[in-house]
Chains A and B, each alone.
Chain A
Amino acid sequence: MTNSDAVLVARDVTRAYHMGEEPVHAVRGVSLEITPGDYVAIVGPSGCGKSTMLNLLGGIDRPTSGALFVNGVRVDRLSDAEATRFRLHHIGFVFQRFYLMPALTAIENVELPMAEAKVARHQRLTRARELLAYVGLAARRDHRPTQLSGGEQQRVAIARALANKPSIILADEPTGELDAKTGQEMIKLLAGVNGDGTTIVVVTHDEDLARAARRVVHMRDGLVVDDRRQDAP
């Protein structure tokens, strides 16, 4: 039974690929529903399939079988161009390695998805400034990624993810490259983003980050082995 309110729905999703000659079953029949405004942490040991699951939910990978719905749209059946367009407007990504465009300044990195969405220059400049202020980097907007610390780069990446006002943020190990103090700041920032109504799904090994989520999904060997709600910290 599918919750009609769910923003993310996975139905018996599998993902298999080959590593050399060996077939790898990264996800083996996962079903999941995530409701709007939820904060979900997917945890589990390395190689359990959690990043693959996140990529599937974000439409940057396709399941071998099963069905994936995001905001009611079956994303696994979208063409490449449709999926790209869908991601632009509905999903924000945050990666462990930040992956900012090194040639662009912080504000230009935030503008990039808006430019692609054909937001007028004046509007996107205003929003980019607001977002950088929101993540605490108003004073660093004209700096390039190489002039920013890891924490600052990840903040810019979060601002970029929020640029087109997506309903969902998918974050893959967002604190993985940060020191403990900066990681805590990032956890607070993500909690704030979630508090503003954005659904967040994080894949993490970071126990503190997992504790910040309202729901924790445990995966092992490509399967969900535990899925429970927890009290907000």
Chain B
Amino acid sequence: MLLRLAWAALTRHRARTLLAMLGVAVSAAMLLDMVMLSSGMRESFKNLLLSRGFQLRVAPKGTLPFDTDATIPGASALVARIRSDGDVTAVSPVLGGQLHVVLAARTVTAAAIGVEPAVQGDYEITHGREPAGPNEMVASADFLAASRLALGDTLSAAAGYDPQLRSLTGRRTLRIVGVAHFIYMPAGQRAVALPLATLQSMEGASAGDRVSLMMIRARSGANVDSVLARLQRALPSVSVISTASAMRQVDDRLSYFRQLALILGAVSLVVGFLLVTTLVTVSVNERLGEIVIMRAIGVARTRVVAQIVLEGVAIMLVGTVAGLGLGLITARYLNSILASFPGLPAAIDFFLFQPRDAWIALGMLAVAGVLAAVYPSWRGASLPIALTLREEAIG
């Protein structure tokens, strides 16, 4: 019976109810998007860092991996030292650079990384195989499209350009043996990977035995923090960074996003609250006669309140469910805009749907809906019956 009465109250003014639900949906969508934004980039970055199972990274002192063009000298000795740690199962040194591919009438430039193919964690082969020899390389599909080269082709490439001589330097003939998806590269990035020693050699004396980064995989069950502390003590000339410490630094840099998301999320919550309060207040005021008659014939105040709160909950629930869909659609659209920001890895999402966070946010909205309905309904159900009836009779 309470459900019938609540349903009837909602359908009495269909347009108004639908508008309120729409308002709540927009509010819920905004809240969801803000929750997704506040944690999305962080979680997405974390997932990216952990995607290949490397928990530690070694970067030039005081920097984040690939944060600057700085490199780590004496890489071979460092790699050997790290590999000697009993808790370390893999070390993947990476050197960043550029590759200029000389074609008949033009030159195509690509981001290049030098890796040890057997332990690399930067790309996934989609066609072909890993480089096995010093003059073999893998390339991204975007590079192949731009250069109109294909798997198995041989090309002439250079790692640098000498402006004084106006000529390419570090030239080498390389063969494409694989097509790869580069995990940390932005979408559309032309990218190639070749053996570390090959890229070091092509870059000349400046890159000799240097790397930009080392990625370290610790043994399963090992205490990563202990490994980090041990390596940092042993290698004071570099920064050893765990995923957790990298995340802390990312957190610092993303604090603006989180604050913005928090403020806008709170605004959405308040808007949803006010919408339901307004609608329920108007609805209660319109049927004070009915409410006090229910009280007069013996319907308990709590039941009258429950019926009216039910209306608020229904508005909130329908609005919230609609807002979930709307929020996901808008997040996807906004993500596509933000993801095209230059230099961001394609795998980074600004808006990441995490069920737990989403349900917490939407749950908060639902609770706000209940609270928003409680006051006007309690007020309506607490009106003096005789006086209200007299006022209703007077009109």
Q: B-contacting residues of A (Cβ < 8 Å)?
A: 17, 51-52, 55, 58, 60-61, 80-81, 84-85, 87-89, 91-93, 95-97, 99, 101-104, 108, 111-113, 115-117, 160-161, 164
A160 is contacted by which of B4, B297, B389 (Cβ under 8 Å)? Answer: B297
B25 CB → nearest A CB, Å: 25
A167 CB → nearest B CB, Å: 14
Q: A89-B298, A97-B289, A116-B303 are in contact. List 20 more A-B contacts (CB 8 A).
A: A17-B387, A55-B389, A58-B296, A61-B385, A81-B300, A84-B299, A85-B300, A88-B297, A99-B290, A101-B8, A101-B290, A101-B293, A101-B294, A102-B8, A108-B1, A112-B1, A112-B294, A113-B297, A116-B297, A116-B300
Using Cβ atoms and an 8 Å threshold, which residues of chain A touch B298? 84-85, 87-89, 91, 113, 116-117, 164
**Would you call B297 and A93 a contact (CB within 8 A)?**
yes
**Would you call A111 and B1 a contact (CB within 8 A)?**
yes
A81 is contacted by which of B7, B8, B301 (Cβ under 8 Å)? Answer: B301
Interface size on B, residues (CB 8 A): 27
8 A–B contacts from the bound complex (CB under 8 Å): A84-B298, A85-B298, A87-B296, A88-B297, A99-B290, A101-B5, A104-B5, A116-B297
A90 CB → nearest B CB, Å: 9
**Is B103 part of the binding interface, using a Cβ–Cβ cutoff of 8 Å?**
no
Q: A-contacting residues of B (Cβ < 8 Å)?
A: 1, 4-5, 7-9, 12, 289-290, 293-301, 303, 384-387, 389-390, 392-393
In the bound assembly, the distance between CA atoms of A51 and B389 in angstroms comes to: 11
Q: Tell me whether A87 and B301 are in contact in the complex, defined as CB-CB below 8 angstroms, given that A96-B393, A101-B5 are known contacts.
A: no
B289 is contacted by which of A81, A89, A99, A113 (Cβ under 8 Å)? Answer: A99
Using Cβ atoms and an 8 Å threshold, which residues of chain A touch B295? 60, 84
In the bound assembly, the distance between CA atoms of A111 and B7 in angstroms comes to: 17
In the bound assembly, the distance between CA atoms of A85 and B5 in angstroms comes to: 20
**Would you call B4 and A104 a contact (CB within 8 A)?**
yes
Which B residue sits closest to A54, measured CB to CB? B386
B296 is contacted by which of A81, A85, A93, A164 (Cβ under 8 Å)? Answer: A93
B381 CB → nearest A CB, Å: 10
Using Cβ atoms and an 8 Å threshold, which residues of chain A touch B5? 101, 103-104
Using Cβ atoms and an 8 Å threshold, which residues of chain B touch A108? 1, 4
Using Cβ atoms and an 8 Å threshold, which residues of chain A touch B296? 58, 60, 87, 93
In the bound assembly, the distance between CA atoms of A116 and B9 in angstroms comes to: 19
Using Cβ atoms and an 8 Å threshold, which residues of chain B touch A164? 298
**Would you call B1 and A61 a contact (CB within 8 A)?**
no
**Would you call B386 and A60 a contact (CB within 8 A)?**
yes
In the bound assembly, the distance between CA atoms of A116 and B8 in angstroms comes to: 18
**Would you call A61 and B384 a contact (CB within 8 A)?**
yes
Q: Nearest 8 CB-CB pairs, A to B?
A: A88-B298, A103-B8, A61-B386, A55-B386, A60-B385, A99-B293, A87-B298, A115-B1
In the bound assembly, the distance between CA atoms of A203 and B296 in angstroms comes to: 17
Using Cβ atoms and an 8 Å threshold, which residues of chain A touch B392? 97
Using Cβ atoms and an 8 Å threshold, which residues of chain A touch B301? 80-81, 84
In the bound assembly, the distance between CA atoms of A189 and B300 in angstroms comes to: 29
Using Cβ atoms and an 8 Å threshold, which residues of chain A touch B293? 93, 95, 99, 101
A168 CB → nearest B CB, Å: 13
Which A residue sits closest to B293, measured CB to CB? A99
Using Cβ atoms and an 8 Å threshold, which residues of chain B touch A116? 297-300, 303
B287 CB → nearest A CB, Å: 9
In the bound assembly, the distance between CA atoms of A95 and B8 in angstroms comes to: 22
In the bound assembly, the distance between CA atoms of A51 and B298 in angstroms comes to: 19
In the bound assembly, the distance between CA atoms of A111 and B2 in angstroms comes to: 12
In the bound assembly, the distance between CA atoms of A88 and B297 in angstroms comes to: 6
In the bound assembly, the distance between CA atoms of A98 and B289 in angstroms comes to: 11
